[in-house]
């Protein structure tokens, strides 16, 4: 068995250079400080934090879009700072963003899914097979002949995911990928990420500022001002709501309700975090 973690941060720090020339006398702004974090193959990890907490920077360090200023990031043992490793690392760790339009290139859905494979010069029969499988995995096969602009926001986000799946990655990073979607499409994308995690063993790193999106994750990492302040299981993290409030995170109302009821003697387990689970326990 390969015991190496998929992604391994060792005492990583990062700062962006000052914005413009007339500020060059200013010191660079530190964004991440002393991050050590190890992510295993098959984990579903939620990376939570406010705007400006450093979570997108951390996500970009995972697949060598950025390289650390101090410390090292290893992906399956390869240092992301070495240029020769960067292409294979980016194939292994795919990423989707807030706005899927930024990564949709072709004028027809199936061409777009095939794009990266075509660029790598793979044989046509292999490309066709992988593209079909990727489209089926995210349920856009029936849309394959349409131009992407005819798709809804949620469907376009699924198209972006298919483009990554076609490369057979080991991990998908979703960086605020649901922020621009309506609630139902948002739930669809979250369900899809869980489906890919459970049925294909893909590692998922779900970057969000919404506590409610993290309840189904296996592990939650909270960033605040460039440092990891919480790392643990949802059931443990949600049993200390005052800590979450201190971090100015909005507690989902059903969890707040369960917490108050628990304090007045109701038996609701810490594991009940979804609306369905809380309802089930309350009605027993």
- Does residue number 283 form part of the binding site for another protein (CB under 8 A)? yes
Tell me the per-residue interface mask from 134 to 173 with another protein, x by CB under 8 A, - otherwise.
Answer: ------------------xx--------------------
Site for another protein in 193-222 (CB under 8 A): 209-210, 212
Task: Say whether residue 225 binds another protein (CB under 8 A).
Answer: no
Q: Which of residues 93-112 bind another protein (CB under 8 A)?
A: 98
Mark residues 19-58: x for contact with another protein by CB under 8 A, - for none: -------------------------------xxx------
Q: Per rule CB under 8 A, is residue 182 in the interface with another protein?
A: yes
CB of 194 to another protein, least distance (A): 18
Beta carbon nearer to another protein, 19 or 235: 19
269 is a contact residue toward another protein (CB under 8 A): no
- What single string gives the DSSP state of each residue in the chain? ---S-SEEEEEEEEEEPPSSGGGTTSPPEEEEEEEEEEE-TT-EEEEE--TTSSHHHHHHHHTTSS--SEEEEEETTEETTSHHHHHHHHHHEEEE-S-GGGG--SSSHHHHHHHHHHHTT--HHHHHHHHHHHHHHTT-GGGTTS-GGGS-HHHHHHHHHHHHHTT--SEEEEESTTTTS-HHHHHHHHHHHHHHHHHH--EEEEEES-GGGGTT-SEEEEEETTEEEEEE-HHHHTT-HHHHHHTTPPPPHHHHHHHHHHHTT----TT--SHHHHHHHHT-
- The site for another protein (CB under 8 A) is made up of 50-52, 98, 152-153, 179-180, 182-184, 187, 209-210, 212, 248-250, 252-254, 256-257, 260-261, 264, 266, 275-276, 278-280, 282-283
């Amino acid at each position: 068995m390969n015991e190496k973690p998929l992604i391994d941060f060792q005492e990583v720090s990062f700062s962006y250079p000052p914005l413009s020339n007339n500020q060059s006398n200013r010191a660079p702004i530190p964004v991440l400080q002393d991050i050590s974090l190890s992510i295993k193959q098959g984990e579903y990890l939620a990376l939570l934090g406010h705007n400006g907490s450093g979570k997108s920077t951390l996500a970009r360090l995972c697949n060598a879009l950025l390289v650390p200023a101090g410390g090292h990031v290893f992906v399956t043992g390869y240092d992301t700072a070495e240029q020769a490793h960067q292409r294979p690392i980016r194939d292994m760790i795919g990423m989707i963003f807030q706005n899927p339009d930024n990564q949709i290139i072709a004028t027809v859905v199936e061409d777009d899914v095939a794009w990266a494979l075509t660029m790598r010069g793979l044989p046509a029969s292999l490309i066709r097979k992988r593209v079909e499988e990727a489209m089926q995995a995210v349920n856009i096969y029936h849309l394959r002949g349409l131009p992407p602009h005819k798709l809804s926001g949620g469907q376009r986000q699924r198209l972006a995911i298919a483009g990554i799946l076609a490369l057979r990655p080991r991990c998908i990073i979703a960086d605020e990928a649901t922020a621009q979607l309506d609630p139902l499409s948002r739930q669809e994308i979250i369900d899809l990420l869980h489906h890919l995690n459970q049925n294909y063993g893909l590692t998922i790193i779900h970057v969000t500022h919404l506590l409610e999106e993290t309840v189904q994750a296996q592990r939650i990492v909270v960033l605040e001002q460039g440092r990891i302040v919480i790392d643990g299981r949802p059931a443990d993290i949600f049993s200390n709501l005052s800590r979450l409030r201190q971090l100015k995170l909005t507690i989902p109302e059903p969890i707040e309700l369960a917490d108050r009821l628990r304090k007045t003697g109701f038996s609701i387990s810490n594991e009940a975090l979804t609306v369905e689970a809380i309802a089930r326990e309350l009605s027993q």
